[in-house]
């Protein structure tokens, strides 16, 4: 890729741009012919309807000078702004600097609004209609792409509107999840257990939630579970929020229920990642967002 990032391309683009602009001016000058007084104007040779000819009149001055003006404008623009390879322009403008300036202005304008809620407990924010309205907007802009606009989630993305929490559902855990993100890893066991072993442990997992399962496979799968799964999901199958290990005794399934779906997870494993938002949103926004998420699963509190 070094050939595409070398200094040659800066020079190539700059020269091509300037030559193109100058060529436009030269072409315009070459095509501009003043009409002498009394001189007959010839035609281009195109004739329609027997006597309707296309005359070769000079370009109108207003059109000609307007074209020259656009050429001058383009040259001035390329001096002031980026446009010639890596040249940054004398004004030093860039999309990044404009974005950063606009964001800084927005932060300054919104600071008093967020300051009003900075010392309010999360549980109390979850009851404040104005705080929830702000939190909902933050949720729609930053979280709805994965968790859906109503927080209901989808396959592989947790439902935030129930009370089944992979990493814990109290306010501290919610704030920690939003701020620092989470990474949950379910290792693949297909190679170690084989297809039949995977199927046996899947039936034992089904039995933990009271789902229909094969008794023989359930019996064989129990031993496999106790040797491979208990460290994360616990002896009772209720999971471990500290590890992000889901509860297997309820009927809330992140990656789908049924024998085939559970076997696929056990065989291939899963890696789920919740990105950190601390640097993106800042603590004040995260508290309002956390209050809204908390309210989704605690509407009566």
Question: Distance of alpha carbon 13 from its chain centroid, rounded?
Answer: 31
E strands, the chain, where? 43-48, 52-55, 182-186, 270-274
Q: Backbone phi, then psi, for 181, in 5-degree steps?
A: 75, 175
Helix (H) or strand (E) holding 2: helix 2-5
CB-based burial label for 209 (10 Å; 0-12, 13-18, 19+): middle
153-183 in b/e form (b: 16+ CB < 10 A) is: beeebbbbbeebbbbebebebbbbbbbeebe
CA dist 27 and 38 (Å) reads 26
Res 4: pLDDT: 56
Question: Distance of alpha carbon 42 from its chain centroid, rounded?
Answer: 62
CA dist 280 and 286 (Å) reads 10
CA dist 267 and 287 (Å) reads 38
Q: Which residue has the tokens 């579970």?
A: 225
Helix (H, G, I), strand (E, B), or coil: what is residue 237? coil
CA dist 15 and 27 (Å) reads 18
Tell me the residue length of the chain: 301
> Who contacts 235 (Cβ-Cβ below 8 Å, separation ≥6)?
226
**Residue 142, CA distances (Å) to 59, 106, 161 in order:** 56, 17, 16
Q: How many CB atoms lie within 10 A of CB 110?
A: 13
CA dist 187 and 267 (Å) reads 9
CA dist 89 and 95 (Å) reads 13
What DSSP assignment string belongs to 41-98?
PPEEEEEETTTEEEE-PPPPHHHHHHHHHHHHHHHHHHHHSS-STT---TT---HHHH
Res 54: pLDDT: 80
The tens-digit pLDDT sequence of the chain (301 residues) is 455 566 788 888 899 999 999 999 998 888 777 666 766 777 777 778 777 888 777 778 888 899 999 999 999 999 999 988 888 899 989 999 999 999 899 889 988 989 899 999 999 999 999 999 999 999 999 999 999 999 999 999 999 999 999 999 999 999 999 999 999 999 999 999 999 999 999 999 999 999 999 999 999 999 999 999 999 999 999 999 999 999 999 999 999 999 999 999 999 999 999 999 999 999 999 999 999 999 999 987 6
CB 252 within 8 A of CB 159: yes
CA dist 232 and 209 (Å) reads 17
């Amino acid at each position: 890729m070094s050939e595409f990032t070398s200094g040659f391309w800066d020079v190539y683009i700059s020269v091509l741009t300037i030559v193109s602009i100058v060529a436009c001016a030269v072409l315009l000058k070459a095509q501009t012919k003043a009409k002498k007084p009394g001189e007959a104007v010839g035609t281009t040779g195109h004739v329609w309807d027997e006597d309707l000819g296309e005359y070769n009149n000079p370009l109108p001055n207003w059109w000609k000078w307007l074209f020259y003006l656009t050429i001058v404008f383009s040259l001035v623009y390329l001096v002031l702004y980026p446009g010639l390879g890596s040249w940054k322009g004398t004004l030093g403008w860039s999309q990044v600097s404009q974005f950063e300036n606009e964001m800084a202005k927005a932060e300054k304008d919104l600071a008093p609004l967020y300051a009003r809620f900075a010392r309010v407990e999360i549980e109390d924010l979850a009851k404040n209609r104005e705080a929830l309205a702000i939190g909902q907007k933050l949720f729609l802009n930053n979280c709805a792409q994965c968790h859906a606009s109503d927080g209901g989630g989808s396959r592989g993305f947790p439902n935030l509107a129930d009370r089944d929490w992979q990493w814990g559902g109290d306010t501290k855990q919610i704030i920690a999840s939003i701020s620092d993100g989470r990474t949950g890893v379910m290792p693949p066991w297909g190679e170690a257990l084989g297809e039949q072993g995977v199927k046996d442990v899947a039936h034992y997992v089904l039995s933990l939630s009271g789902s229909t399962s094969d008794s023989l496979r359930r019996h064989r799968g129990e031993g496999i579970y106790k040797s491979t799964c208990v460290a994360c999901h616990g002896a009772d199958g209720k999971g471990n929020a500290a590890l992000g290990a889901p509860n297997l005794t309820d009927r809330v399934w992140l990656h789908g229920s049924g024998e085939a779906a559970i076997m696929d997870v056990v065989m291939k494993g899963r890696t789920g990642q919740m990105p950190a938002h601390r640097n993106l949103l800042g603590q004040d926004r995260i508290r309002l967002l956390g209050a809204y998420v908390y309210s989704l699963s605690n509407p009566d509190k």
